[in-house]
């Protein structure tokens, strides 16, 4: 049974990849992922806000008291205190690469060009096998158009690709006007893979304290449907690889992801809920299903239910909307 797949130029032993999560901030957890059969890991994200905050803090500390007296240089902070940010991230990459043989993918989370070029080069020098650029942004400016946002995304990818040699994957939100068109633009800009879709953690209202509070909810398999839909539509229309993240919990979810046209299925919530060893169960169930249905390889099923391969392409289009609504029968009383 051949479970191998290709992603970002690497031959992976299977299509199960651990998506970015704070849980993978220790080498022991990353090693446990490999032991459980996970084929690659995306490290926790290095956030644009984190970089900006550290730069501002460093600037304040370096300039604090400079007008006090002539010996102001004694106010310089101990720089080792800043290694918990980008420096600590680079250290994690190096240690992870020394501890495991699976690809280690760095994650940069932001929406502007900013300091990404500098840090993309640094994570590359630290030894990461690839970079996942997580374009997580909420456009609140009513004067900013979707075209401007998409052009900025493509510009970031284009500049990043010209600055590093490692493969670059682009993780997108589903809040897009024309995902298929943007996928083509990012493909031309040089993206080696597209990861669909990011999960927005939406805040809630505390009506007693009159505060906006964060709410974290882990994904469920139902969320997979949106990802399947768009990967199936985009498959075959771009040269770059496609990955699904969000809603992958079971072997059935992995199989559906492959049939839609994805090269890998990324999971985190299932591993957080059931433990890292859950990946072993998923892979065992995957192999069992393939044997029962006489699939000899993962490649054989990839894209078999995509838009271009589906016998009824209308299932992906508006014409299926009315059909879906009419399929629901209201019980008679």
Confidence of residue 216 (pLDDT cuts 50, 70, 90): confident
pLDDT tens digits for range 81-104:
433 468 889 999 999 999 999 999
For residues 124 and 213, what is the distance between their CA atoms, to the nearest angstrom? 36
H or E segment and range at residue 231 = helix 224-234
288 Cβ contact partners less than 8 Å away, ≥ 6 residues apart: 251
Reading the block at residue 158, the tokens are 């284009």
Per DSSP, what are the bridge partners of residue 266? 17, 245
Compute CA distances 189 → 81, 146, 330, whole Å.
38, 17, 49
Is a pLDDT exceeding 70 seen at residue 140? Answer: yes
Domain architecture of the chain: domains with CATH: 5-326 (3.20.20.70)
pLDDT tens digits for range 290-308:
999 999 999 999 999 998 8
Q: What is the DSSP letter of 13?
A: S
Task: For residues 259-264, give the mean pLDDT.
Answer: 98
Task: For residues 169-185, give the mean pLDDT.
Answer: 93
For residues 297 and 290, what is the distance between their CA atoms, to the nearest angstrom? 8
For residues 303 and 261, what is the distance between their CA atoms, to the nearest angstrom? 4
Reading the block at residue 292, the tokens are 């029962």
The predicted model scores a pTM of 0.85
For residues 182 and 171, what is the distance between their CA atoms, to the nearest angstrom? 12
Reading the block at residue 221, the tokens are 């398999």
Give the percent of the chain with pLDDT over 70. 80
């Amino acid at each position: 049974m051949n479970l191998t797949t290709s992603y970002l130029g690497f031959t992976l032993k299977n299509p199960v990849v651990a998506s970015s999560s704070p849980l993978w901030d220790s080498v022991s957890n990353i090693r446990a992922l490999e032991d459980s059969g996970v084929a690659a890991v995306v490290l926790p994200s290095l956030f644009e806000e984190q970089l900006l905050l550290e730069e501002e803090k460093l600037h304040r500390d370096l300039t604090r008291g400079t007008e006090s007296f002539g010996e102001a240089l004694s106010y310089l902070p101990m720089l080792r205190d800043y290694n918990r940010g980008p420096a600590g991230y680079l250290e994690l990459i190096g240690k992870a690469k020394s501890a495991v043989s699976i690809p280690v993918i760095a994650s940069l989370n932001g929406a502007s060009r900013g300091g990404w070029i500098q840090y993309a080069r640094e994570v590359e020098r630290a030894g990461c096998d690839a970079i996942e650029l997580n374009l997580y942004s909420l456009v609140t400016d009513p004067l900013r158009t979707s075209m401007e946002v998409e052009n900025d995304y493509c510009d970031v990818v284009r500049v990043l690709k010209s600055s590093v040699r490692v493969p670059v994957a682009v993780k997108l939100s589903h809040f897009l006007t024309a995902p298929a068109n943007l996928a083509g633009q990012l493909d031309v800009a040089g993206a080696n893979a597209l990861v669909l879709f990011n999960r927005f953690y939406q805040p809630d209202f505390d009506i007693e304290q009159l505060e906006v509070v964060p709410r974290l909810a882990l994904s469920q398999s139902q969320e997979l449907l949106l990802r399947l839909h768009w990967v199936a539509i985009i498959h075959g229309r771009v040269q770059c690889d496609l990955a699904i993240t969000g809603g992958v919990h079971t072997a059935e979810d992995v199989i559906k992801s492959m049939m839609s046209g994805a090269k890998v299925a990324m999971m985190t919530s299932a591993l957080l809920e059931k433990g890292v060893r859950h990946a072993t169960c998923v892979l065992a169930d995957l192999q069992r299903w393939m044997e029962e249905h006489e699939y000899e390889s993962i490649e054989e099923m990839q894209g078999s239910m995509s838009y271009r391969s589906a016998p009824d392409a209308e299932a992906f289009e508006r014409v299926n909307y009315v059909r879906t609504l009419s399929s629901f029968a209201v019980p008679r009383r």
